A and B are shown apart, each in its own frame.
Chain A
């Protein structure tokens, strides 16, 4: 019984720790991507020639449904940004809108040239749809605001070109080139962004590209990021521009995290299952050992349900002890794991294990343990209640 109890404690705590850890990384990843590329991006004008988007009505509520984007035709970028912005501002679920003009350019220093992806932004808008303020490792937003020729560069770009705040750098585009001053160095944690992206003012970007109008995209933040999918569909239907939610954009990574969580949940549930099986064996042997006592109890008037209750009660005691111990060690383990140094760079940046303190992990672990322990104790308990007292007493004598 002690081994079963230890197994249940171990199973519950391990379940909590693994879920806290995998969902911690997932939550951190989502926060990173929301803080970098926003919840929704509105880009190319969309020609819905083949009814790829449908508005469907269910119980009086409207929903938007994508059939496929494969056959749709697009016109690159947002043609009338002012109109689109004005339309977007009528959506009550949107809390930040930033127009972004993306171009490819080359950063030139004395020693080397480096290809970058320049994002032309209005910084006052962009801080409402991103975490750029928090991502700045050096410099400040004010530097950028007060300098039309200011530039934010990713920390990997800065490392490669050996650039520091206030350094001068040339940005060479298709039509123009400008000498800019480094206003800040940011780190998103996403290595593809940190080694390629730079931010410059929107007019500067347009000048470098030689494109005064159109071609921009919109990055949006919304009050509830979980609603991004339906809001994106609604925007696409309403504005006729390709609109992608963060869930759709990062589907591959989100699927990886989901697979990891499911995989670890299955692994840990197996531990709980094995503990349940151990407990089942213990109870089954106990029923055999206690058959005589069961017969005695039946002979003095105990009913089959009373006999079941005795064994179920023991299961409940083990379960409660397992839950208390499992939750305690789960919480302790989660805390200890969060203190383990772990340097991750790539899809996000962290220097220690990221954990997510979520009550649903505890509830799930308790629920799974309860199901296994209930089954493990109910079957032997039911068997005990079926003992025929006369037969047992006759055999004992």
Chain B
């Protein structure tokens, strides 16, 4: 239950913004356990999202180590990283990032189809998850025909379809009203407990952060609390 699924060691990252080098992360270290929601809070530009992209293997750190399931990702090649991202990590973004030309169930089934599952099976599983998330009547709605809260639930369903062990949520409630924010947060909390997931939740919402199992406060690329 308390095993550190994710271990981050002395992570440094910088990138160029115009001609200026921005040090987004400076020696960040922490652990995230299965069955827990860890919130990451801090002002805009403090490096929260950058940290999430590095943990999601969408970017390369300058130095430091990320260990997932006791395996250092620095030793993985690109194909292995893609597979890990597909099978073990679920991403949820603030703007849900659904593909608008696809229906809700097709959006959810995409990672499973990529994994190599049979399309029919993947769609059936997508239907089941969407049913559990209260979207059973909107399976065939195109993504852009759903409300903001519904779209975010579809994004959560997509993150869950391959039964990942780590969910990275980048301000998933940032674009929702209070009621929908509650629904989404409760959903993540229940999932982390029921499915023993490690959830990393980047948020500006202090109320939600306080309700998480652990929280990390960041400022100027450093963990301050």
Contacts and interface: CB of A to CB of B under 8 A. Distances in A.
A300 B79 contact: no
Contacts, number: 59
Q: Chain A's interface: helix, strand, loop or mixed, by majority?
A: helix
A344 B131 CA distance: 76
A390 B91 CA distance: 12
Interface in B5-53: 49-50, 53
B85 interface: yes
B11 to A, nearest CB: 14
A301 B115 contact: yes
A67 B34 CA distance: 88
Interface string B96-136: 01110000000000110011000000000000000000000
Give the size category of B's interface with A.
20 to 34
B58 A300 contact: no
B166 to A, nearest CB: 13
B180 to A, nearest CB: 19
Interface string A380-397: 000000001110011011
Nearest to B85: A301
B202 to A, nearest CB: 11
Q: Chain B's interface: helix, strand, loop or mixed, by majority?
A: helix
Contacts of A388: 59
Contacts of A169: none
A385 to B, nearest CB: 12
A388 B53 CA distance: 11
B86 interface: yes
B85 A393 contact: no
B79 A296 contact: no
A301 B114 contact: yes
Contact of A390 (B58, B83, B95): B58
B82 interface: yes
A334 to B, nearest CB: 40
Contacts of B58: 298-299, 389-390, 393
B49 A397 contact: yes
A301 B79 CA distance: 9
Interface residues of A, number: 20
Contacts of B110: 297, 300
Contacts of A394: 49-50, 53
A302 interface: yes
A159 to B, nearest CB: 73
Contacts of A393: 53, 58, 93, 97
A299 B91 contact: yes
Query: Nearest 10 CB-CB pairs, A to B?
Result: A301-B86, A390-B59, A390-B53, A390-B58, A300-B111, A296-B97, A301-B85, A303-B82, A389-B58, A299-B91
Interface of B: 49-50, 53, 56, 58-59, 78-79, 82-83, 85-87, 91, 93-95, 97-99, 110-111, 114-115, 158, 170
Interface of A: 292-293, 295-304, 306, 388-390, 393-394, 396-397
